[in-house]
Chain A
Amino acid sequence: MNDCERMEDSIGPWLDGELSAAESELVRAHVTACARCGEARLRLETIDRALSSVLVAEAPKIEFASFWRELQQRIEQKTPWHKRLLERASDWTSAPTAAWAVPVLIAVLIAVLSYESYFPIRRSRNNFATVESIDSHGRNVALLREDESKTTVIWLYQNQEGDDEAAEETPPAGPAF
């Protein structure tokens, strides 16, 4: 970043009177000597003037008596409870008070997600283990799962002769009619 780029960032605060005396002097000296920054200053002043004429000059004068009369009526009017609740909610959620809402939301989310690990929810759990088995060409894999202790036992075994289901299904030898 060269001198001019750095100075351009400071011209706005300088025109707004937000710089210290030493910083102001530095910017003033540079803007006076540098054509590019001098033009940047003129552009900013033109924008500020135009802004002022649009935002200030366009605003109509509000007559106090009618403003106050209407306000008084609203003050005396009983506000329904649901509107008050909405007002309070909007006060809580509006900037800058909404700043607390983000960490609270994150904390609640984490608490909900980790709740089950600290306080296991007893859904349809019981103390029985379930057994699943997969049979593949005479070699079996049995899985024994137990919910409560979250234990899984894997049991590999081979079919003994005569245990083979396929053998049972084999039609008996001999003439079939």
Chain B
Amino acid sequence: MELSDWDLVQKCQSGDMSAFQELVSRYHQKVYMVILGLLRNREDALEVSQETFLRAYRKIGGFKGGSSFYTWIYRIGVNLAIDAQRRQKRNPLEFRDTMDTVLESQNEVARDPFAEVHDRELRENLVKAINDLTPEHKAVIVLRTIEGLSYKDIGAILGCSEGTVMSRLHYARKKLHDKLRSFL
């Protein structure tokens, strides 16, 4: 039977390294995806993901289970990513190559060339529009889109109310819509 996150946390707290390894294996990909969504740079996202789990390891003794483990680990990761984003001076990842890879993998390149161009332009402009959002607005969009988290969980991660999450999401979507008006 698979142990719950809380069982693993308790094992970690009594010094079981393999329990922490199991928690990392469960969440490393998701944490990385959320951080990549915020930072838009693969190397930085990997570095911040490592830092997230390192901090979690050091602080796990103080984790009382007041929230779920994933809320807790996302909170550490998102805070680190927002800090890193504010410091970030480097250019974001060039997405053209990435998008080609995505489209090829979805076998969309060989389809209607007009649709292909439209899709490509929409996604490229979407990436630019996401990058123009503030870290807080980007965070709600990323957590909602990647993880499909509820407003309550997003609020717990970002330390704000459900109402704030709702209004940030509304504002972020409106901003994205305004910038992509010609593609929709």
Contacts and interface: CB of A to CB of B under 8 A. Distances in A.
A121 B50 CA distance: 52
Contacts of B99: 54, 58
Contact of B29 (A54, A62, A68, A74): A62
Interface in A87-142: 87, 90-91, 94-97, 99
A50 B95 CA distance: 14
B121 to A, nearest CB: 11
Given A55-B142, A68-B21, A95 B37 contact: no
Given A56-B145, A75-B54, A46 B36 contact: no
- Interface SS of A by simple majority: helix
B25 A95 contact: no
Report, as a range, how many residues of chain A touch the other chain. 35 or more
B53 interface: yes
A53 B102 contact: yes
A57 B159 CA distance: 28
B83 to A, nearest CB: 6
Interface string A27-46: 00000000000000001101
A18 interface: yes
Contacts of B117: none
Of the listed residues A64, A71, A74, the one surrounded by the most CB atoms of chain B closer than 10 A to its CB is A71
A67 B53 CA distance: 10
A129 B50 CA distance: 69
B37 A55 contact: yes
A47 B98 contact: no
B151 to A, nearest CB: 5
Contacts of A60: 42
B166 interface: yes
Interface of A: 9, 12-13, 16, 18, 43-44, 46-48, 50-62, 64, 67-68, 70-71, 74-75, 87, 90-91, 94-97, 99
Smallest CB-CB A-B distances: 4 pairs: A96-B159, A94-B79, A59-B33, A51-B145
9 contacts: A16-B151, A18-B162, A47-B184, A54-B130, A55-B146, A58-B98, A59-B37, A64-B25, A74-B54
